[in-house]
RNA sequence: GGAGAGGUGGCCGAGUGGUUGAAGGCGCAGCACUGGAAAUGCUGUUUGGGGGCAACUUCAACGUGGGUUCAAAUCCCACCCUCUCCGCCA
């Protein structure tokens, strides 16, 4: 959520930053007008209320001396008069306030000054590339879904029968490989200083609002119709919301968490895209890294978060590149974002495997996550950051392709061998 | 699902209509005492919105939303949540 005070004081500057995401898409003007109306009403209302409070106190005093006195009656009459006026004013102001709030929630975050300006993903910037030497030279590499089904470790048909399209069943060593990846990632990230949590996988609307999925992206999540509960689209939601409405003592910052959770996404609007394989499923596993930090450190924390995610790809010797998203491609809540893209030989492309964002105080404001510095008056919003470390299904896809041997077996990456107990995946492993 | 209890400040906990943003305690901060500390004493200690350069001022908040009243933490209604017991179940 943007800072209303900032918008009031500096509308042109804020508008300019919003326009970097796409000119004319986010007009502050209606918001500014509503806000002004609301404040005018609030002034009127609180003045009336002040008088009403005064009357209440006076009556209390006088009624002891002379319950039937004319003075008391006069005050009561005035009180009633004010009540009538308030009954008109109050709902109006409340309504305006709700409108301001609702409108404010629809504005995306301001891109950080350092974010390259651009209108689409075409203008994203490659920051660095790693592992060129690990790019396989074998031209015969099968797409991961084909080799996976051949080896009997992935099955899409049966998953479709059980649920729907865009689900998968992992079988035998496929399931074990997924589990091994989860363990590897959690082990590495906890060693890097992230405190592991297993949060609820269902979250309420308030939580989704704090982390930007609501109100704008309701159709992206699965909702439980009987309850105010949704299937979490990412662990970012439950983990960040562990601290919703908290005022943290300064000493508690920074907070680092990692979490393994399944993630559930409706993928509405992506019909026809990545229909095959593990790339875009309704349910997938992910290790998420979440940080809550002091605002002055968030830029450095962001760079470090990216490195922590990269460390997994490096450990697995999977070729990847780091992309910085331009203003036009930046996610709704992000102030700055790097994507990690892993090399997928079958399509000859880099594909997103992690997205690492700095949200600044955008989410903290929505979720009221603050900290207090001893001695200083008032509270400040923390900065929140998160990134995948990594998407497990996509990692599996990358392994099934990059480690695919000419004989159709899969070499198990060195770091995974202790977890999996075998060096290759082949037919005999079924 | 059935029965009961309960939701008050960072925490514990009092408060059943009147000047209570809320006793008391704990915790925390400052000061005094001390060589230093403990103990003790005193003082302070919620958050959010509006107005103001500021000092300050005003409104709101005792689970949430309504209602009664000049006045509600306190009364009424609805909802949510937590706990205990019973039932069912992994």
**Domain annotation covers residue A358:** yes
In a domain, A19, yes or no: no
Beta pairing partners, A160:
none
Whether the beta carbon of A79 falls within 7 A of nucleic chain B: the reply is yes
Is A15 domain-assigned? no
Residue A39 in tokens: 């404040």
Q: Is A194 within the bounds of a domain?
A: yes
User: Tokens 């899969």 — which residue?
Assistant: A410
One domain for residues A96 and A144: no
Which residue is it, tokens 């896809």? A397
| Helix count and strand count (H, E) for chain A | 13, 18
Q: Which of residues 273-292 of A touch strand B (CB under 7 A)?
A: none
Straight-line distance from CA A376 to C1' B31, in Å?
Answer: 19
Same domain, A100 and A157: no
| Residue A342, beta-bridge partner list | A320, A351
A45 CB neighbours strand B below 7 A: yes
Distance in angstroms: CA A128, C1' B3: 65
The ipTM estimated for the assembled molecules is 0.87
Are A78 and A130 within one domain?
no
Pick the catalytic residue: A280, A321, A347, A368? A280
pLDDT digits (tens, 9 = 90+) for A191-209: 999 999 999 999 999 999 9
Q: What is the pLDDT of residue A428?
A: 60
Residue A59 domain-assigned? yes
Same domain, A362 and A240: yes
Total domains in the fold of chain A:
2
Regarding whether A205 and A321 lie in a shared domain, the answer is yes
Q: Based on the domain organization, do A37 and A174 belong to the same domain? A: no
Give tens-digit pLDDT for A155-200: 999 999 999 999 999 999 999 999 999 999 999 999 999 999 999 9
Helix axes A70-104, A29-65, angle to 10 degrees: 160
Helices (H), A249-391: 298-315, 362-367
Domain that holds residue A178: 121-429
- Residue A354: active-site member: no
Distance between CA atoms of residues A49 and A43, nearest Å? 10
Mean pLDDT estimate for chain A: 93
Q: Write down which residue in A49, A69, A104 finishes a domain.
A: A104
Do A320 and A418 fall within a single domain?
Answer: yes
Residue A110 lies in a domain: no
Local structure of residue A235 (DSSP, 8 states): T
The span from the CA of A240 to the CA of A262, in Å, is 16
pLDDT on residue A71? 83
The model's pLDDT over A359-397, given as tens digits with 9 standing for 90+, comes to 999 999 999 999 887 767 778 899 999 999 999 999 999
Q: A314 and A265: one domain?
A: yes
To the query of whether residue A394 is one of the catalytic residues in this protein, the response is: yes
Which of A104, A131, A157 is a domain's end point? Answer: A104
Q: Are residues A197 and A285 in the same domain?
A: yes
Q: Both A125 and A60 in a single domain? A: no
- A91 part of a folded domain: yes
The last residue of a domain, from among A73, A104, A135 = A104
Q: In this structure, is residue A255 part of a structural domain?
A: yes
CATH number of the domain bearing residue A237: 3.30.930.10
Predicted local distance difference test score (pLDDT) of residue A270: 85
Reading across the β-sheet that carries A247-249, which strands appear in turn?
A247-249, A370-372, A380-381
Catalytic residue (choose from A221, A355, A357, A388)? A355
**Res A57 pLDDT > 90:** no
pLDDT at A407 over 90: yes
Is A280 among the residues known to form the active site? yes
Same domain membership, residue A310 and residue A227: yes
Residue A411: phi and psi, rounded to 5, are: -75, 135
Nucleotides of B under 7 A from a protein CB: 10, 18-19, 28-29, 47-51, 58-60, 66, 69-72
Q: Are A100 and A126 found together in one domain?
A: no
């Amino acid at each position: 959520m943007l800072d209303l005070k900032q918008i009031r004081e500096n509308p042109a500057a804020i508008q300019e930053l919003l326009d970097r995401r796409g000119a004319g898409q986010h007009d502050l003007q209606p918001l500014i007008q509503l806000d002004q109306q609301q404040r005018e009403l609030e002034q009127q209302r609180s003045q009336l209320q002040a008088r009403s409070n005064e009357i209440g106190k006076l009556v209390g005093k006088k009624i002891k001396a002379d319950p039937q006195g004319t003075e008391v009656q006069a005050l009561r009459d005035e009180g009633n008069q004010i009540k009538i006026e308030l009954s008109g004013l109050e709902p109006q102001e409340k309504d305006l306030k709700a409108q301001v709030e609702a409108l404010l929630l629809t504005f995306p975050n301001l891109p950080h000054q350092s974010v390259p300006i651009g209108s689409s993903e075409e203008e994203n910037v490659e920051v660095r590339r790693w592992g060129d030497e690990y790019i396989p030279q074998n031209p015969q590499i099968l797409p991961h879904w084909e080799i996976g089904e051949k080896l009997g470790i992935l099955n899409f048909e049966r998953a479709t029968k059980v649920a729907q399209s865009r689900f998968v069943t992992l079988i035998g060593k496929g399931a074990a490989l997924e589990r091994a990846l989860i363990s590897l990632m959690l082990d590495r990230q906890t060693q890097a200083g992230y405190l592991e949590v297993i949060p609820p996988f269902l979250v309420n609307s308030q939580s989704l609002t704090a982390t930007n999925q609501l109100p704008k992206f309701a159709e992206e999540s699965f909702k439980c119709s009987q309850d105010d509960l949704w299937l979490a689209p990412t662990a970012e939601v439950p983990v960040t919301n562990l601290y919703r409405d908290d005022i943290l003592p300064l000493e508690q910052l920074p907070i680092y968490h990692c979490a393994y959770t399944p993630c559930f996404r409706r993928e509405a609007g992506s019909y026809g895209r990545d229909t095959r394989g593990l790339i875009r499923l309704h349910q997938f596993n992910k290790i998420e890294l979440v940080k809550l930090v002091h605002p002055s450190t968030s830029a450095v924390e962001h760079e470090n978060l990216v490195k922590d995610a990269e460390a997994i790809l490096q450990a697995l010797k999977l070729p990847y590149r780091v992309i910085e998203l331009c203003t036009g491609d930046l996610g709704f809540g992000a102030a700055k974002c790097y994507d990690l893209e892993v090399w997928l030989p079958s399509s000859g492309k880099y594909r997103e495997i992690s997205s690492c964002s700095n949200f600044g105080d955008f989410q903290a404001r929505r979720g009221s996550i603050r900290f207090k510095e001893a001695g200083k008056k008032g509270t400040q919003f923390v900065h929140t950051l998160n990134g995948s470390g990594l998407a497990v299904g996509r990692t599996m896809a990358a392994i099934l392709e990059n480690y695919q041997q000419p004989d159709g077996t899969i070499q198990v990456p060195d770091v995974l061998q202790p977890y999996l107990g075998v060096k290759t995946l082949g037919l005999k492993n079924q």
